[in-house]
Amino acid sequence: MNVPATRKDLMIVNMGPHHPSMHGVLRLIVTLDGEDVIDCEPILEAITVNGPELLGNIQVPKRAGYIRIIMLELSRIASHLLWLGPFMADIGAQTPFFYILEKERVTEYQKLITRNPIFLERVEGVGIVGTEEAKNWGLSGPMLRASGVQWDLRKVDHYECYDEFDWEIQWQKEGDSLARYLVRIGEMMESIKIIQQALEGIPGGPYENLEIRRFDRERDSEWNDFEYRFISKKTSPTFELPKQELYVRVEAPKGELGIFLIGDQSGFPWRWKIRPPGFINLQILPELVKRMKLADIMTILGSIDIIMGEVDR
């Protein structure tokens, strides 16, 4: 940590966990000058993750594509709602937190919270990230769009069938904790619009590609043994991964979620790497809390919206 050598009245404190799921995975070492934050160092616990199941290059039926979009946008709403409750609790607003757990009415949450003067006092102008700063740190998702960058992979990469629906990228230019809140609220409203359109226009036909059966071939009996299926839980090989590099990304609720694969003509990738948005977005935390008050740390950390299962590096 960059602790000034000439100062003798500084206080170094351990802070956290701030949420039940944070036990053992995130600890903040904060250097204070009174209540002003001089430096902050996040300490993360290394977590081992299992590899993804390998899939073939299979054409998704139209009906399946609509169903997938419905589920993706429901997941986006669920993610933002699950973020909103703890975020409000972090800044001391307990009543909206329990209200959110009880019902799923986004418009009511917006009326209840957005114009609340106590809420605005805690989040407006706190944890500002400028446009160029957001780009340089590699931020994505609401963290990036709240800093004036209109970048959403659903529009940029045109994956699935998002282009068939009428919806807009939600963004703000202020770059503070309030802007990040407003982006997520707006995204929930847009997700509802997408779901409604998908439900009204969902086509008929199959929801699975029968061509996938061509990948079904006789497995080595070893892969069906109890040890592999229920203990080691190794992925059953279905086809050879070509000798090439592949990067696939999607607009997850928290930002860009990418998977990088290197094949070597075997049933498993020679190398694979997951790019979790939470890990990348968290890196800017020490910069955001400098020269802020101690009480602002929870507001800023909450506005980043991280899941510690992603921050496994």
Task: Tell whether 31 and 136 lie within a shared domain.
Answer: no
- Above 80 in pLDDT, residue 173? yes
Task: Tell whether 154 and 296 lie within a shared domain.
Answer: yes
Structural domain includes residue 268: no
Query: Of 143-152, 154-163, 241-250, where does mean pLDDT reach its minimum?
Result: 241-250
Structural domain includes residue 168: yes
- Above 90 in pLDDT, residue 124? yes
Structural domain includes residue 211: no
Task: Tell whether 121 and 39 lie within a shared domain.
Answer: no
Q: Which domain holds residue 169?
A: 62-204+292-304
Query: Of 44-58, 114-128, 184-198, 263-277, where does mean pLDDT reach its minimum?
Result: 44-58
Per-range mean pLDDT, top range of 59-73, 89-103, 239-253: 59-73
| Beta strand 36-44 pairing with 26-33 | antiparallel
Alpha-carbon distance values, 276 to 123, 138, 170, 281 (Å): 25, 12, 21, 9
The pLDDT tens digits for 267-309 are 667 887 888 898 899 999 999 998 889 889 989 998 999 877 7
**Residue 52: predicted pLDDT:** 37
Structural domain includes residue 266: no
Structural domain includes residue 69: yes
Task: Tell whether 79 and 37 lie within a shared domain.
Answer: no
Task: Tell whether 38 and 185 lie within a shared domain.
Answer: no
**Residue 149: predicted pLDDT:** 97
Task: Tell whether 163 and 296 lie within a shared domain.
Answer: yes
Burial 168-180 (b: 16+ CB within 10 A, else e): ebbbbebbbbbbb
Task: Tell whether 197 and 82 lie within a shared domain.
Answer: yes
**Residue 303: predicted pLDDT:** 93
- Above 70 in pLDDT, residue 29? yes
Split at pLDDT 50, 70, 90, the class of 155 is: very high
Structural domain includes residue 232: no
Task: Tell whether 167 and 300 lie within a shared domain.
Answer: yes
Task: Tell whether 117 and 90 lie within a shared domain.
Answer: yes
User: Where residue 171 sits, what CATH number does that domain have?
Assistant: 1.10.645.10
Structural domain includes residue 210: no
Task: Tell whether 110 and 176 lie within a shared domain.
Answer: yes
Q: How many domains, in total, are found in the chain? A: 2
Q: Which residue has the higher pLDDT, 4 or 186?
A: 186
Split at pLDDT 50, 70, 90, the class of 57 is: low
Task: Tell whether 118 and 162 lie within a shared domain.
Answer: yes
Split at pLDDT 50, 70, 90, the class of 91 is: low
Task: Tell whether 30 and 146 lie within a shared domain.
Answer: no
**Residue 199: predicted pLDDT:** 95
Question: Tokens in use for 266?
Answer: 């075997």
Structural domain includes residue 5: no
- Above 90 in pLDDT, residue 105? no
**Residue 311: predicted pLDDT:** 66
The pLDDT tens digits for 208-221 are 665 555 445 444 55
